[in-house]
């Protein structure tokens, strides 16, 4: 697929927020979906795009029925699939669950740009982008072609995850995109039988990384079976248990993100520097 600039497709989107991580398995997609839903709960018009071309999980997490396809307008534009008040678009809507994307990096990047540019997003206050893990082609393409307002880094407290989180932060710094803050996932486990709390993956790692890069911890979430089961069942925590600890934490994260972006008149255009 040929690369397409995304300015036209996103011209009515006020803020584009990248939800990123240096490695997989840290709860990035769960954070992205719950953040989008928390922003909707505050009266915003919100979209979410699944930038993980190789492993799209958005349809499942939003409870969209298998086989759902976006409506096509003029044989060119996609109408985003709405779920829980969020406009969504994912490669998962265009292929079956059994279809692997056996593509090289430039093909995946081109596919993402076409999804962004050829989706009729309409007026949006926020477009949340669920990034794939790492710092490769798709991340650099999105940073270069879309005017990101900022990035949220998701990590767990363990050292190996923090190492990769630092790489993700460094990548966004190199392309002049502000890092809004860090979300620390799986920070503490509470025993369901006795209530004993244990920091299985370490303690204070998110705060340490945030301090190193003069940013902040936007929120800390526990290692919770409920969060995982709710996402897998297609009813994320903000929907399944809006008064629960996880939903309240995601709401607080949304408040901080809104406050941080409130002073921005328009997202800036990054300069890509290859060293």
Tell me, letter by letter, the H, E, C secondary structure of 207-235: HHHHHHCCCCEEEECCCCHHHHHHHHCCC
pLDDT band at 198 (very low <50, low <70, confident <90, very high): low
CB 165 within 8 A of CB 21: yes
- In this prediction, residue 3 carries a pLDDT of 45
Distance set, CA 184 to CA 47, 128, 217 (Å): 23, 18, 7
Pairing of strands 124-130, 189-190: unpaired
Condensed to tens digits (0 to 9), the pLDDT of residues 58-89 reads 999 999 998 899 999 988 899 999 999 999 99
- In this prediction, residue 258 carries a pLDDT of 97
pLDDT band at 189 (very low <50, low <70, confident <90, very high): low
The pTM of this model reads 0.86
Structure token digits, residue 180: 């809004």
- In this prediction, residue 5 carries a pLDDT of 45
pLDDT band at 147 (very low <50, low <70, confident <90, very high): confident
Structure token digits, residue 84: 């829980």
Residues 55 and 201: their CA atoms lie apart, in Å, by 25
pLDDT at 207 over 90: no
Alpha helices in 64-158 (DSSP H): 105-117, 137-145
Alpha helices in 42-88 (DSSP H): 58-61
CB 120 within 8 A of CB 78: yes
pLDDT at 10 over 90: no
Average pLDDT, the chain: 83
Averaged pLDDT, 133-161: 83
- In this prediction, residue 272 carries a pLDDT of 39
Q: Please report, for the chain, how many H helices and E strands are present, in that order.
A: 9, 12
CATH number assigned to the domain covering 13-262: 3.40.50.300
- In this prediction, residue 161 carries a pLDDT of 79
Averaged pLDDT, 196-215: 77
- In this prediction, residue 114 carries a pLDDT of 83
Can you give the residue ranges of every domain in the chain? 13-262
Condensed to tens digits (0 to 9), the pLDDT of residues 26-40 reads 889 999 999 999 999
SS3 81: strand
- In this prediction, residue 106 carries a pLDDT of 66
Condensed to tens digits (0 to 9), the pLDDT of residues 154-177 reads 998 877 778 888 988 998 998 889
Condensed to tens digits (0 to 9), the pLDDT of residues 90-137 reads 988 887 665 655 555 567 777 788 888 889 998 999 999 998 877 677
- In this prediction, residue 159 carries a pLDDT of 78
């Amino acid at each position: 697929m040929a690369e397409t600039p995304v300015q036209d497709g996103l011209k009515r989107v006020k803020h584009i927020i990248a939800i990123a991580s240096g490695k997989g398995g840290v709860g990035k997609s769960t954070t992205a979906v719950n953040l989008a839903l928390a922003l909707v709960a505050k009266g915003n018009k919100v979209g979410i795009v699944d930038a993980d071309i190789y492993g799209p999980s958005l349809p499942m997490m939003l409870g969209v029925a298998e086989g759902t396809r976006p409506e096509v307008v003029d044989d060119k534009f996609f109408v985003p699939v709405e779920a829980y008040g969020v406009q969504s678009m994912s490669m998962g809507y265009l292929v079956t669950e059994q279809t692997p994307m056996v593509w090289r990096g430039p093909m995946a990047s081109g596919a993402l740009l076409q999804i962004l540019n050829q989706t009729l997003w309409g007026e949006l206050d926020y477009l949340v982008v669920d990034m794939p893990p790492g710092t490769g082609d798709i991340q650099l393409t999105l940073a270069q072609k879309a005017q990101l307002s900022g990035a949220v880094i998701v990590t767990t407290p363990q050292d190996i995850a923090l190492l990769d989180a630092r790489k993700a932060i460094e990548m966004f710094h190199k392309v002049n995109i502000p890092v809004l803050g860090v979300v620390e996932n799986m920070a503490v486990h509470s025993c369901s039988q006795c209530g004993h709390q244990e920091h299985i993956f370490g303690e204070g790692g998110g705060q340490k990384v945030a301090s190193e890069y003069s940013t902040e911890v936007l929120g800390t979430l526990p290692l919770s079976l409920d969060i995982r089961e709710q996402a897998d069942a297609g009813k994320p925590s903000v929907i399944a248990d809006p008064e629960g600890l996880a939903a309240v934490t995601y709401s607080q994260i949304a408040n901080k993100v809104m406050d941080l972006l409130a002073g921005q008149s328009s997202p800036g255009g990054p300069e890509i520097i290859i060293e």
